[in-house]
Structures are given as structure tokens and as C-alpha cells.
Structure 1
Amino acid sequence: MTRFKADIAKYKRYSNKSALVLLLTQQGLWALCVYRINNRIYRSKIPGIFKRILLGFGLLWQKWIEMIAGISLPYSASIGPGCYIGHFGGIIVNANAEIGADCNLSQGVTIGVSGRGSNRGVPRIGDRVYIGANTVVAGRIEVGNDAVLGACSLVINDVPASTTVLGVPAVQISDKDSSDYIL
């Protein structure tokens, strides 16, 4: 549960509230808690039938969180510690996506599959990446560490580290990194 502790610590940096208040009020933390527990079970060495039973209950719990929080974090996705989901709803992460440590996901973010043939796949997102509201990140692409993906962008090409991209499709608009967005 050290990854979830890192998630809580990040939420505390943003709000200056106690862990209990955050756990009671932040839908992003609810979704991350369920994800962390289910992901731990998924990656464990629990014997097959017991793991499937636990994951069956975990899937029901995940679906409940999806309905009340509007956040879908499948247990098979890879999400690094210190994730921050600042606002309610509309967040969809593909089951095979990889998200690095200390990333921020805004409302309406989709991280999904796209492409054709050998280009079909899901994104790999580096550490300390800020993903703005209503941004879609899709396809077999790499997003470098410390990148900023601007609001309402469609990111379908690789993003170099420490840059800002914006638009449909997203293009590099700045060499500024995410340090102004990530605490």
C-alpha cells in the first residue's frame, strides 16, 4: 500500500487536508484506492481460483466506483505512485495503459487504444506528466517525463520530455515542462 500512501501524500500537498477528510471527500482517491487493491491482487501470486474470485469481487467494486465517480481505472493498467485525479468524472484509462509516477489526470481524460496494424496500441506515459481537461491520449505512443498535455488536445504522436503540446492533433507549442503543474 506504499503506492496508495504516495497518492494520499500528493492529495495532501494540493489541499492541506487530513487523510481522513480526503478519503471521505475525494472521488479520485476512492478510484485509486480500489485500483491499488485490485492491482495488488492482480499482480500477486495468489493461486488461480482464489485470485479470480477476489478479482470478480474487485471488478464489481470497480464498476460501483465507475458509476458513482465516473472514473475507470482497470486493475490491469499500470499506474505509478503519486497519481492525482483532481476532479470528478469522465476519466477512462485503457486496461493496458502505462502511466508513470506523480502524474495528474484532469476531468474528461481518456487514455486509450488507437491505430491500425502494427501501430495499434496504447500509450506509455512518463513520470510527472500533467494531462489537461478533456484530453485524449491514444495509440502506441510515448509521452516523455515532465510533459504537459494541454486541455482539449488529441495526442496521437510521441511527446518529447519536458515539452508542452496542445491542439487537435496536438503539436509542441513550448519547451516548458510540468513543474508549474505538478506539486
Structure 2
Amino acid sequence: MFENVKSDIRRFDSMNKITLRVLARGVLSQGFQAIIVYRFFHWLLIQRLPGQPFRFFVERFIEVTTGISIPAACKIGKGFRIHHFGGIILHPTVEIGENCTVYHHVTIGDRGGYGNAAKIGDNVMIGVGAKIIGDVVIGNNCKIGANTVVDEDVSDNSIVIGYKCEIKEMSL
């Protein structure tokens, strides 16, 4: 757990160092606060140590104060960074690789209450307002653009932007 937290905090510095300034930036970041809570309760879950009902109240407090929901059942690699807090919802079956960055108003979920959520590779950047829907695979070294809806697999080293919309006239 602590190795993952160290990697998460290193993402706040371009030189990949942990200094007092970097540590302060991390601790004051609402995104990092949500990550710390996730890391702790995920560790308890893996170790099969009891965390309920304490976990329920702490997770709800983080959701209310930061607008970020990361269930303990998610699998998130080291070096995770939430760049701006708020409106971030992850499904419990989400798997995220190492050194990934998520911006605000991102949803990674299932298809309307059934199935699993995405498996996301290493070094992926998910832009503001992006939605990743269903049991899709996002390859390594990908960038998901702002407000992009992803509902199919994305190969390694790809940039995903936009979403084609279809306009249909309504009959009155």
C-alpha cells in the first residue's frame, strides 16, 4: 500500500521526487485525499481485515466533500493522479493500470446496471468529462479527449476524441 501511495504522491512533481512542498500539495489536494482513502480501504479488503461500517461513513464523507467515488473493490495501479476533483465516479469493477491521470467529471461505469466496467492500461490520460461505458479495454499510452464517450475497445498508443452523434427528428 505505501509503495502505491509514494508513487501517487510523486505524480505531483515533474522531477518525480517527494519533497515537503510536494507532500503538502498532495495532502491538500482533494483528489489525493480520495486516493488515500481508496488505497487504505482497498488494502483492508485485500488483507481481509474488517472495515465496515467505518468504511461506509468515510467513503460517503469523501464523496460528499470531494465529489469523488472510488469503491474499495476497484483495482488501481500505482502512480494514480486525479488532476482536478469533482464529479468522478468509478464502478467497483474498474481496473486502471499504472501512472494514469483522471480529470474532473469522468465516469467509468457499466452499461446501465449490468456487466463490468473498463480495463484501462498504463499511462492513460482521461480528459475532462469523458465517459467510458461498459466492459471495454483501453490500451496502454492512450489519451481520451475531453467529453469523449468511449464504448468500444481502444488499442495501445491511441488518441480518442469526440463522439459522433446522430440527430433524428422528432415527430410531433
Q: Shared topology, TM-score over 0.5? A: yes
1:22-171 alignment, distance < 5 Å: 22-46=25-49, 51=50, 54-114=51-111, 120-168=115-163
RMSD: 2.2
Which has a greater percent of helix? 1
Per the TM alignment, residue 25 of structure 1 is displaced from its structure 2 partner at its CA by: 1.7
Q: Distance in 1 between matches of 2:24 and 2:75?
A: 27
The 1:125–1:169 alpha-carbon spacing in structure 2 relative to 1, beyond 3 Å, is farther
The code of the aligned residue for 2:31 comes to G
Gaps of 5+ in 1: 171-183
Count of aligned pairs between the two proteins: 162
Per the TM alignment, residue 163 of structure 1 is displaced from its structure 2 partner at its CA by: 0.7
Counterpart residue number, 2:7: 6
SS in 2 for 1:137: strand
Q: Which runs of 4+ in 1 moved over 4 A?
A: 14-17
The 1:65–1:116 alpha-carbon spacing in structure 2 relative to 1, beyond 3 Å, is closer
Deviations along 1:98-153, one digit per CA (max 9) or x if unpaired, are 01110000010000001798xx3211000000000000001111000001111101
The 1:150–1:61 alpha-carbon spacing in structure 2 relative to 1, beyond 3 Å, is same
SS in 1 for 2:55: helix
Per the TM alignment, residue 17 of structure 1 is displaced from its structure 2 partner at its CA by: 6.7
For normalisation by structure 1, the TM-score amounts to 0.82
Q: Distance in 2 between matches of 1:107 and 1:94?
A: 15
Amino-acid identity (%): 32
Q: Distance in 2 between matches of 1:116 and 1:75?
A: 18
